[in-house]
Amino acid sequence: MRGKINGMPVLVLLTVMTASAREPSGPPEPQQVEPPAMSEMPMPVPLSKLLEEAEQRNPQIQAARRGWQAASQVPSQVSTLPDPQVTFQQFAVGSPRPFAGFTNSDFAYVGVGVSQEFPYPGKLRLRGEIAARDVAGAEEQVESVRRSVIAQLKAAYFSLAYHLKVLEVLDKDGRLLDQIETISEARYRVGQGNQQDVLKAQLQKTSLLKDIEMHHEEHYRLEAQLKQILDRPADSPDLMPVGLLETPFTSSFDALRAEVGRRNPELRGQQEMVRRQGLEVDLARKDFYPDFNAQYMWQHTAAQFRDYYMLTFGVSLPIHWRRKQEPALAEASAELSRSRRLYEAQAQQIYFDLRDQYLAAETAGRVLKIYREGLIPQATATFDAGLAAYQTGREDFETLLSSFLDVLNLDIEYWRTLAEHETALARIEQLAGNTTH
């Protein structure tokens, strides 16, 4: 066939068409999904600076301090005698009019008196001591709230640092995945690979974009939580943690357990409650004894009559002790027993929490060492060897992708374990008062 088509010899056209049919056309280009653009990052803020800000601005801490200040005003009130009562009397004779018969009767008079109630000795002192125990409990509550807020702040700070670090890991490993995709495409185009390898690499890239979005969501949520703890406006500048560093942890469990009994504010507050209820029992016993009342009055009639002076002494009679004082004593005794049981239960719970967090911190420390010295270097070496082998056709794509995912997942797991380690130390500090940061 030697004719021409559109001015081109037919033989030449057939040769070009045959060559085109044999050349691999390559996989269809997927729609590129770009990762979300991150706004300009603010300057990192040290954790110590945020802790100082929380102690000054956090509403929960401020409210607890105001409650303690209010409670500290009570002891002097309840341990003071009742206010004296001043009395003015006018006694008329022969007429309901004021001052009638004042000048012609020995019975008509104008009197001025003062009276004072006196609780049985020891009652005021006990009431003051009960209020003092309330003050001590309120002070421990301030420390308990402060430690709780600090632990929440640290947990959010470490979690935010973890998610930002994961975003860095995903970005770094995303570039590795770009390299894998480029190699798989090159091998496919020269007929040494297959289209499925390229598509799987592209699928994994899209999966990384999904992970990036999820970590961004947590990143923004944790920033909002930190602003709430710090009492900052929602539209205030974003917070950037300094980073995650492993804090050395060498305390023994026995030493921490001893610190709990001496320094844990919740346990100390419950101890104050037991002491308070013991004083309530003593006060209930005092209520079996009478209270007293004293009154003195001066009475004046007319100039021709002598003045009168009257002193009155009264005693209350607790005659309904079976219906009032005995039930009150039984109530106070039951509350004392209840507060003791609550103290024991709280102590056991705190010791359990301490043990749990201690084991978590110790285990995380050992696991971090395994990641640093074993798993991560081994996974990285395996991936590097696999990448070189894949380029020369000595390893399949599935094995290479599996080794890549090992590197990615171990990196993420390392930073998650580090965040858990630091959070456990923050919880130990909350329970035992052992400063670890």
Q: Give per-residue pLDDT as tens, 78-107.
A: 999 999 999 998 887 777 777 666 666 777
Q: Are 416 and 160 in contact (CB under 8 A)?
A: no
Mean predicted lDDT score pLDDT of the chain: 85
Q: What is the pTM of this model?
A: 0.80
Long-range contacts of residues 316-324, Cβ cutoff 8 Å, at least 24 apart: 316/290, 316/291, 316/292, 317/290, 318/287, 318/288, 318/289, 318/290, 321/288, 324/287
In SS3 terms, 238-275 reads as: CCEECCCCCCCCCCCHHHHHHHHHHHCHHHHHHHHHHH
pLDDT band at 305 (very low <50, low <70, confident <90, very high): confident
pLDDT value for 282: 96
Tell me how far apart the alpha carbons of residues 349 and 327 are, in angstroms, rounded to a whole number.
Answer: 33
The token pair that represents 153 in the structure block = 């702040």
Tell me how far apart the alpha carbons of residues 254 and 66 are, in angstroms, rounded to a whole number.
Answer: 35
Tell me how far apart the alpha carbons of residues 180 and 198 are, in angstroms, rounded to a whole number.
Answer: 9
Q: Are 148 and 433 in contact (CB under 8 A)?
A: no
CATH label, 49-81+119-287+324-432, candidates 1.20.1600.10, 1.20.1260.10, 1.10.150.120, 3.40.50.10260: 1.20.1600.10
Q: Which of 399, 414, 274, 277 is nearest to 345 (CA)?
A: 274
How does pLDDT run across 335-387, given as a tens digit for each residue? 999 999 999 999 999 999 999 999 999 999 999 999 999 999 999 899 888 88
Tell me how far apart the alpha carbons of residues 66 and 370 are, in angstroms, rounded to a whole number.
Answer: 48
